């Protein structure tokens, strides 16, 4: 136990990582074959590609369930062997992960739907976006904070406070846009608290985030009991309607998925593009990343480290607040206690899975959103699947992602370290 | 405070305890203890020194003083929240410029009523004391305190769970999931197995410990083998365990009470219930004694054993620990196993002590509260016990004040107070700024979580 060999051994080598990823790939392939393929009912799995109301109908796709599962399992196994034996480039590694995940998800769908009513791919895709919006916005908020070197566990609290404030302001003033702005500002307020305590008072950031979440949960529970439950006028449940983009929303398949949704989806598009471009292709972003990687060096060349951190943490809060507003005035309308129910934490996992980049976080958030949508849809087509077990899917997926697939994550180097000018 | 081991208020040379604490304790000062200057001064100046020590502690802000000020500040912020969500008070303030005294007196009434009700519910109700003088029940005086102890029991145990992981540098947000793991096993052993009275209790307790420990062990294993950050894994496992609990409680072949549509398990056998010490109704449950014993055991483990020393060294610096030949991965796995077990024991004290029946809502907020308790207790066993008692009192007081004000002041105010207290404790710089204390180093949280970089 205390030999020199143990003492000098690095905890995780690239070699070990490769084996771990390959083992995960192979395990997924075996599940495709042994579980989904072998247990699928006889009969075809069928997928609809257009809504009932669509003007252009696309014929239903039917595939034999078990053989497809076997084939996809074989692909995953092949990728696993490839990953274990051939040193791959970075892009190839990521494509391999994506390929294995797609194989897994399609097999899951085939197995669940074998011999049952057709699954509507459009509705599932729309649902995936519906579930993903708060995750994407939350993960983007985390990205803004953590790229500048402040760990943001308080995404959950920012979403929750945004949701509460948006609902109460929209209800009290009868204006949805006022509610949206108020929700965003509420998230920003939690961001201000995070910034003040983390940057000025040098509080441990992980502890701080958890405490802020507890505080916001208590505060919203208290105010819900005190204001909303006694006075329904403060929680009327008004929501944004869906906006069809002219022309684009008429395109088959793509139209109803991407261009027929509430304002929140379009805000999300803008946020992803703006933040990705700003972080990686602008002077602004270069400074933010410099502060997150090496604040001393950034300070030496005249960048105001604390100001950039304050600004980014608060900006992140504003973005997360919009995600919170979505939870109430963008989807269900009324606020209920603890409505964010862990979205903030999943957003955090998406951020890490997406390696602290907006596009990576987007991909991860969509994966988690898809898992949540599956948890809602699959028990309705296949009653063998108990809802509670399906509900575990996004969380189990996160654990597998963080433990098996992510590889060596490299967070911003100064992430979580307060900067004190020497 | 300086970079020497604390010697305490007693001007005798450092006791063996602080010597045994080893290098990891160097530079840290135990809660409530104050650096005094060089040890071994003449005993005659003791009284004068004690006075100096107290004044120094207050002006420089020792851990204990910071904690007390944090609680005070949280109560002030809580008072503002209570006052301004009271319609009577807000109406009075709307006429502030005409009737300023009325507005202030209404505010004072609203706040003082809420806090005094909380005190009466959790600590001591003066009316029971006067009743006892007039031939009433003396036992009734202690009823609030016994409720506080009962409420504090699971909080102390989940607090210990979080605290012991903190000492090894891990942040265990998963006490809630580990609690559920322990509760499932305790419930199953409680109603599914027939055993003689005392043995049944012990088997259930061990089962709960194991049930929680397995969940914790898995987190440690993933961290050690794959580098998965324990914060993410524990959060996700919490949700997995909630869903598992929901599944088990909705199938009669699993844990559900037969002929039930609700998610509820059968009552556990009377044999498996934890007994109470002392007569009814003010009494202290065996559960509370288990919690205190567990705190003592954790303290002993951390301070007196090689394993505890390894935990603390790993917590201080994993790379230094590795260089020194400590198996860091083994420490992570072991400490998470113990943390999970403690959270499981917390479930046992609830299932076997106060509830005797597992429902989907049983897990309550024991997990998150464990984090706040551990932070307030500065990840030290004695601190955790005190913090657990404080939060237990707040919980009892919160329920009492909600009933006393007919829902005007919801019990959720307690959650806000807890969050504020820990927020202020975690930011001693803020407390120093607010109360104009002189700045010294070393009284922040000893418990710090490691960032994503490990």
Residue B335 confidence (pLDDT): 96
Looking at the predicted structure, is the pLDDT value of residue B87 above 90?
no
Looking at the predicted structure, is the pLDDT value of residue A323 above 60?
yes
Minimal CA separation from A373 to chain B, in Å:
16
Residue B280 confidence (pLDDT): 55
Residue B274 confidence (pLDDT): 83
Residues 6+ apart with CB under 8 A from A370: A105, A124, A128, A131, A132
CB spacing of A399 vs B423 below 8 angstroms:
no
Which residues in chain B have their CB less than 8 angstroms from residue A148's CB? none
CA distances from A299 to A284, A291, A422 (A): 15, 8, 10
Tell me the two tokens of residue A202.
Answer: 């040098």
Determine the average pLDDT of the residues in A14-28: 81
Nearest to A347 by CA among A104, A124, A96, A144: A144
pLDDT in tens, A63-111: 888 888 888 889 989 888 888 888 878 788 888 888 888 888 888 888 8
Eight-state DSSP code of residue A48: E
Residues 6+ apart with CB under 8 A from A141: A152, A155, A158, A187, A191, A316, A317, A319, A320, A323, A347
- Distance (Å, whole) CA B318 – CA B334: 15
pLDDT in tens, B307-357: 999 999 999 888 899 999 999 999 999 999 999 999 999 999 999 887 778
Nearest to A257 by CA among A387, A361, A373, A162: A373
Residue B38 confidence (pLDDT): 41
CA distances from A62 to A48, A371, A404, B3, B391 (A): 9, 23, 33, 73, 59
Interhelix angle for A205-223 vs A176-195, to 10°?
140
Looking at the predicted structure, is the pLDDT value of residue A272 above 70?
yes
Determine the average pLDDT of the residues in B246-270: 85
Strand boundaries in B153-283, DSSP class E: 276-277
Q: Flag whether residue B205 sits within 8 Å of chain A, measured between CB atoms.
A: no
Residue B17's pLDDT band (cuts 50, 70, 90): very low
A residues 211-270 closer than 8 Å to B (CB)? 211-212, 214-219, 221-223, 225-227
Q: Flag whether residue A376 sits within 8 Å of chain B, measured between CB atoms.
A: no
- What is the value of pTM for the model shown? 0.83
Minimal CA separation from A195 to chain B, in Å:
12
pLDDT in tens, A103-158: 888 888 888 887 777 888 888 899 999 889 999 999 999 999 999 999 999 999 99
Phi-psi region of B379 (alpha: psi -120 to 50; beta: other; left: phi over 0): left
B residues 404-433 closer than 8 Å to A (CB)? 407, 410, 412-420, 422-423, 426-427, 429-430
Q: Is the ipTM of this complex over 0.85?
A: no
Search chain B and give the residue with CA nearest A228.
Answer: B85
A244: how many CB neighbours lie within 10 A of its CB?
Answer: 14
Strands B284-285 and A119-120: unpaired
- Distance (Å, whole) CA B82 – CA B114: 8
A61: how many CB neighbours lie within 10 A of its CB?
Answer: 13
Nearest to A93 by CA among A12, A25, A32: A25
CB spacing of A222 vs B322 below 8 angstroms:
no
Strands A61-64 and A260-261: unpaired
CA A57 to chain centre: 32
Residue with tokens 């075809």: A44
CB spacing of B236 vs A7 below 8 angstroms:
no
CB spacing of A411 vs B250 below 8 angstroms:
no
Residue A411 confidence (pLDDT): 81
pLDDT in tens, A171-217: 998 889 999 999 999 999 999 999 999 998 888 888 889 889 989 99
CB spacing of A227 vs B231 below 8 angstroms:
no
Which residues in chain B have their CB less than 8 angstroms from residue A3's CB? 325
CA B29 to chain centre: 20
Residue A113 confidence (pLDDT): 81
Q: Which residues of B235-244 are buried (b: 16+ CB within 10 A; e: fewer)?
A: bbbbbbbbbb
Residue with tokens 């604040």: A295
Q: A62 by DSSP, 3-state: which?
A: strand
CB spacing of B419 vs A211 below 8 angstroms:
yes
Determine the average pLDDT of the residues in B61-73: 84
pLDDT in tens, B103-147: 888 888 888 888 988 888 888 888 888 888 887 777 778 888 888
Determine the average pLDDT of the residues in B291-310: 95
Helices and strands, number each (H, E), in chain A: 18, 5
pLDDT in tens, B39-60: 444 444 555 666 666 666 666 6
CB spacing of A352 vs B81 below 8 angstroms:
no
Residue with tokens 């930011």: B427
- Distance (Å, whole) CA A7 – CA B319: 9
DSSP string spanning A169-224? HHHHH--HHHHHHHHHHHHHHHHHHHHIIIIIS---HHHHHHHHHHHHHHHHHHHI
Q: Flag whether residue B90 sits within 8 Å of chain A, measured between CB atoms.
A: no
Q: Flag whether residue B1 sits within 8 Å of chain A, measured between CB atoms.
A: no
pLDDT in tens, A154-173: 999 999 999 999 999 999 98
Determine the average pLDDT of the residues in A297-313: 94
């Amino acid at each position: 136990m205390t030999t020199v060999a143990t003492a000098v051994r690095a905890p995780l080598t690239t070699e070990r990582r490769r084996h771990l990823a390959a083992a995960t790939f192979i395990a997924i392939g075996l599940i495709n074959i042994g579980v989904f393929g072998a247990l699928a009912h006889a009969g075809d799995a069928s997928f609809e590609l257009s809504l009932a109301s669509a003007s252009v109908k696309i014929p239903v796709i039917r595939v034999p369930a078990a053989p497809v599962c076997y084939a996809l399992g074989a692909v995953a196994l092949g990728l696993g062997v490839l990953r274990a034996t051939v040193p791959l480039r970075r892009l190839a590694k990521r494509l391999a992960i994506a390929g294995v995940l797609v194989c897994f998800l399609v097999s899951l769908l085939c197995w669940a739907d074998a011999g049952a009513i057709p699954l509507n791919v459009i509705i599932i895709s729309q649902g995936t976006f519906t579930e993903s919006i708060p995750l994407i916005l939350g993960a983007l908020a985390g990205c803004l904070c953590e790229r500048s070197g402040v760990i943001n566990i308080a995404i959950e609290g920012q979403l929750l406070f945004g949701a509460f404030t948006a609902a109460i302001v929209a209800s009290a003033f009868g204006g949805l846009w006022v509610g949206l702005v108020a929700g965003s500002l509420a998230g920003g307020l939690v961001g201000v608290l995070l910034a003040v305590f983390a940057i000025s008072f040098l509080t441990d950031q992980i502890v701080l985030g958890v405490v802020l979440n507890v505080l916001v949960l208590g505060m919203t529970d208290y105010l819900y009991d005190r204001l909303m439950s006694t006075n329904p006028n403060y929680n009327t449940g008004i929501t944004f309607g869906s906006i069809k983009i002219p022309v684009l929303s008429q395109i088959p398949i793509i139209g109803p998925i991407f261009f027929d949704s509430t304002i929140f989806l379009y805000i999300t598009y803008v946020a992803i593009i703006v933040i990705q471009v700003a972080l990686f292709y602008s002077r602004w972003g270069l400074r933010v990343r410099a502060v997150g990687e090496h604040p001393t060096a950034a300070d030496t060349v005249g960048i105001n480290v604390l100001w950039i951190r304050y600004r980014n943490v608060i900006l992140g809060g504003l973005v997360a607040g919009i995600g919170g507003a979505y939870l109430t005035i963008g989807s269900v309308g009324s606020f209920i206690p603890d409505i964010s129910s862990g979205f903030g934490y999943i957003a955090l996992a998406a951020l890490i899975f997406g390696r602290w980049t907006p596009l990576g976080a987007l991909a991860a958030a969509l994966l988690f959103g898809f898992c949540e949508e599956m948890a809602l849809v699959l028990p309705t087509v296949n009653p063998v699947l108990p809802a509670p077990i399906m509900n575990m899917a996004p969380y189990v997926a996160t654990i597998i992602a963080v433990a098996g697939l992510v590889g060596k994550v490299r967070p911003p180097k100064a992430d979580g370290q307060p900067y004190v000018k020497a | 405070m300086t970079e020497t081991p604390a010697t305490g208020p007693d001007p005798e040379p450092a006791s063996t305890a602080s010597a045994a604490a080893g290098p990891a304790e160097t530079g840290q000062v135990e809660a409530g203890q104050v650096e005094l200057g060089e040890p071994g001064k003449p005993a005659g100046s003791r009284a004068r020194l004690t006075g100096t020590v107290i004044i120094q502690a207050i002006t420089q802000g020792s851990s204990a003083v910071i904690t007390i000020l944090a609680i005070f500040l949280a109560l002030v912020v809580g008072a503002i929240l209570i006052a301004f969500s009271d319609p009577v008070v807000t109406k009075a303030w709307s006429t502030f410029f005409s009737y300023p005294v009325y507005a202030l007196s209404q505010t004072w009434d609203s706040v003082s009523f809420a806090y005094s009700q909380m005190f009466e519910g959790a600590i001591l109700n003066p009316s029971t004391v006067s009743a006892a003088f007039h031939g009433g029940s003396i036992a009734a005086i202690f009823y609030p305190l016994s409720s506080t102890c009962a409420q504090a029991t699971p909080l102390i145990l989940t607090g210990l769970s979080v605290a012991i992981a903190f000492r090894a540098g891990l942040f265990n947000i998963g006490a809630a999931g580990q609690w559920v793991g322990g509760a499932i096993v305790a419930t199953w052993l409680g109603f599914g197995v027939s055993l003689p009275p005392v043995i049944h209790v012990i088997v259930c307790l061990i089962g709960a410990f194991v049930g929680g420990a397995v969940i914790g062990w898995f987190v440690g294993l993933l961290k050690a083998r794959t580098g998965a950050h324990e914060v993410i894994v524990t959060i996700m496992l919490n949700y997995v365990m909630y869903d598992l609990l929901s599944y088990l409680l909705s199938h009669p072949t699993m844990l559900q009470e037969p002929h039930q549509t609700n998610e509820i398990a059968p009552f556990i056998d009377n044999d498996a219930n934890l007994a109470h010490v002392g007569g009814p109704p003010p009494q202290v449950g065996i559960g509370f004694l288990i919690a205190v014993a567990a705190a003592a055991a954790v303290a002993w483990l951390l301070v007196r054993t090689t394993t505890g020393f390894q935990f603390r060294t790993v917590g201080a610096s994993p790379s230094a620990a590795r260089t020194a030949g400590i198996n860091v991965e083994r420490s992570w796995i072991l400490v998470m196993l113990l943390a999970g077990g403690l959270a499981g024991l917390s479930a046992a004290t609830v299932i076997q002590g106060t509830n005797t029946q597992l429902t989907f809502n049983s897990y309550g907020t024991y997990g998150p509260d464990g984090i706040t308790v551990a932070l307030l207790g500065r990840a030290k066993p004695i601190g955790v016990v005190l913090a657990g008692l404080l939060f237990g009192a707040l919980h009892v007081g919160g329920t009492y004040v909600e009933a006393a004000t007919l829902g005007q002041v919801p019990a959720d105010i307690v959650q806000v107070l807890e969050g504020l207290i820990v927020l202020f404790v975690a930011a001693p710089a803020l407390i120093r700024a607010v109360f104009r204390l002189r700045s010294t180093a070393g009284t922040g949280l000893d418990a710090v979580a490691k960032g994503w970089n490990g």
